A = this chain, B = another copy of it.
Amino acid sequence: MTKPLLQIALDSLTLEKAVADAKQAEDVVEIIEVGTILACAEGMKAVKTLRALHPNHIIVCDLKTTDGGAILAKMAFESGADWLTVSAAAHPATKAACKKVADEFNAANPTLKVKKEIQIEIYGNWTFEDAKEWVELGVKQAIYHRSRDAELAGKGWVAEDIEKMKTLSEIGLELSITGGIIPQDIHLFKEIKNTKAFIAGRALVGSTGKETANAIREEIAKYW
């Protein structure tokens, strides 16, 4: 049970804003994510720039890959991403294509400090049977979102979310958890053994961003 990492999701519309936000957060996060919005706005230039500025951070490229897996994975990894998100809704062949590209990168670069990995981002109608298939494919990581409806309705995490995450963890997936993460919620996840990371976006930027990040880190240290 390793200590969960903290990940900042950069979802600004411009690279200039993103590099400023990343710079401010660099001392308090282990993972920097080029969010879907930033990636769609600026393209792979965003990944390349953040890779160059943060050589010692894990860089996630959040494309929520749904098709064209081999090409998108190659593009993201060559641009400097360590981890790539792949939509749970993608066809199994697309997931397999992304995984294959990651494996080939790792085989060709045996000294990589951080291995290339794909993360299944859980969206749509999915089942635990699907999750077992991901593990059988060799996938190690998944991303769990709080129900957006719940979030928009101002509801907190519900027991059903926690139970699903526990089951996914038992199936063998390391989980990154996201959806309005605040320091006060961290204790809710203490029973999820394979918590890989907590992902936050706007909470970690602006004048209170660093303070919030440190508060989350303190909570993590209490429970893991």
Could you say which of B37, B87, B94 contacts A87, with CB atoms under 8 Å apart?
Answer: B87
Q: A87-B87, A123-B87 are in contact. Are A36 and B68 (CB under 8 A)?
A: yes
Question: Given the complex, which residues of B lie within 8 Å of A36, measured CB to CB?
Answer: 66-68, 72
Number of chain A residues close to chain B: CB under 8 A: 42
> With the chains together, A175 CA to B60 CA distance in Å?
34
Q: A75-B13, A124-B87, A148-B91 are in contact. Are A41 and B40 (CB under 8 A)?
A: no
Q: Kindly state whether residue A125 has any CB partner on chain B within 8 Å.
A: yes
Q: A11-B68, A36-B66, A72-B36 are in contact. Are A123 and B41 (CB under 8 A)?
A: no
Write the A53-90 contact mask toward B (1 if CB under 8 angstroms, else 0): 00000000001101110011001100000000001111
Query: Number of copies of this chain in the oligomer?
Result: 2
> With the chains together, A68 CA to B36 CA distance in Å?
8
Q: Are B42 and A89 in contact (CB under 8 A)?
A: no
Question: Given the complex, which residues of B lie within 8 Å of A156, measured CB to CB?
Answer: none
Distance in Å: Cβ of A184 to nearest Cβ of chain B: 24
Q: Are A75 and B149 in contact (CB under 8 A)?
A: no
> With the chains together, A55 CA to B158 CA distance in Å?
49
Could you say which of B39, B92, B124 contacts A40, with CB atoms under 8 Å apart?
Answer: B39
Listed from nearest, the 6 A-B pairs whose CB atoms lie closest are A89-B124, A89-B89, A43-B43, A125-B125, A124-B124, A42-B43
Q: Hey, which bits of chain A sit against chain B, CB under 8 A?
A: 11, 13, 35-37, 39-46, 63-64, 66-68, 71-72, 75-76, 87-94, 121, 123-127, 130, 145, 147-149, 152
